[in-house]
């Protein structure tokens, strides 16, 4: 399952460092990978594609207090959209 998020950021570089720092923890919670794409029109808008077996491990990961704090400290202002898909083609 792929989970796609669209986020608005205050500081892309600061946010990217936090995301990379949490790769290991995401994997412990079942993440099979993640990709980040910046909007060509608005560099403070990013699209994230996470691959998980299902949405429950993802939700448990996002509910961790340290993840919430890290995202708040990283300059993430809001999640604009959340969607799920069982299959996406590149």
pTM score of the predicted model: 0.74
Task: Check residue 30 and give its pLDDT.
Answer: 92
Task: Check residue 70 and give its pLDDT.
Answer: 85
Question: What average pLDDT is seen over the chain?
Answer: 81
C-alpha dist (Å) from residue 40 to 22, 75, 90? 25, 19, 18
Per-residue pLDDT at 82 exceeds 70: no
Per-residue pLDDT at 85 exceeds 70: no
Alpha-carbon gap, residue 66 to 73, rounded angstroms:
10
The DSSP-derived string for 38-53 is: E-SS-TTEEEEEEE-S
| For the chain, percent of residues with pLDDT exceeding 90 | 19
Task: Check residue 56 and give its pLDDT.
Answer: 84
Q: How many CB atoms lie within 10 A of CB 21?
A: 11
The domain ranges of the chain are: 2-85
What CATH architecture does domain 2-85 belong to?
Answer: 2-Layer Sandwich (3.30)
Task: Check residue 90 and give its pLDDT.
Answer: 52
pLDDT confidence bin for 29, thresholds 50/70/90: very high
């Amino acid at each position: 399952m792929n989970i796609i998020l669209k986020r608005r950021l205050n500081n892309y570089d600061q946010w990217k460092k936090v995301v990379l720092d949490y790769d290991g923890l995401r994997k412990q919670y079942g993440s099979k990978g993640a990709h980040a794409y910046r909007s060509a029109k608005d560099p403070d808008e990013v699209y994230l594609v996470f691959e998980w077996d299902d949405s429950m491990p993802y939700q448990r990961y996002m509910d961790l207090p340290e993840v919430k704090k890290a995202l708040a400290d990283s300059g993430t202002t809001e999640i604009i959209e959340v969607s799920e898909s069982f299959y996406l083609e590149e």
